[in-house]
Amino acid sequence: MAYAAYVFDAYGTLFDVHSAVRKHSEKLGPDSTAFSMVWRQKQLEYSWVRALMQRYKDFWELTEQALDTAYALYPSADKSLRDDLLNAYWTLDCYPEVPEVLTRLKATGAKIAILSNGSPAMLEAAIKGAGLTDLFDEVFSVDDLKTYKTDERVYELVTTHFRIYPEAVSFQSSNRWDIAGATAFGFRTVWMNRAGLPDEYPDLTPAAVLNDLTGLQALG
């Protein structure tokens, strides 16, 4: 079927969350890869806990807190790079196939959007830094609701704004938990399994699994 909207998670799906550390890996030290993984893990963990407690802090504050935790867990990491790492997070690299895929999808007449945990300022900076500004019809942030995915109200932002049913939306995310939430809501979901991870939610399966965005349009 033809989808009225193609909606993308941002971090890990369009933007490489590990590119900030990679830019400073030599100075950061031998634990840079593990450090980056923990930074990302804690960033997400804090969003889930905050949503459950209903004590919202925006994603940038959680990103800062997660970085400080990574430093606490890896004391060998160069702490003088803290500001450099945070600055790099504002302009993360997008994955190489992203501009072409989004351009082709937009040419079909479908709406192209982001649905992200990121704060509006973070998303604006990332999109601008990657040169993708003209490709999106809308950028949805959980900040409007003061909660995080996988609250169904987050996914409802898309259907309410575009006035379409969930089944008219193709939703793409690299996060399997996000795919589970979007599937439960009723979106057609495509898991960007860039890391070749095992499936964790067999009762909430995606319609397709890809290792990058290149094959998305071929799915229909």
Rounded distance, CA 172 to CA 186, Å? 13
**Annotation says 78 is catalytic:** no
Q: What secondary structure letter does DSSP report for 13?
A: T
Q: What secondary structure letter does DSSP report for 218?
A: G
Helices (H), the chain: 19-22, 25-28, 32-53, 59-73, 82-90, 98-107, 120-129, 152-162, 176-185
Strands 138-141 and 5-8: unpaired
Strand ranges across the sheet with 169-173 = 138-141, 111-116, 5-8, 169-173, 188-192, 208-210
Residues forming a β-bridge with 139? 114
One of 9, 16, 93, 178 is an active-site residue; which one?
9
143-173 burial: b if 16+ Cβ within 10 Å, else e: beeebbbbeeebbebbbeebeeebebbbbbb
Single-letter code of the amino acid located at 170: S
Q: Which residues are designated catalytic? A: 9
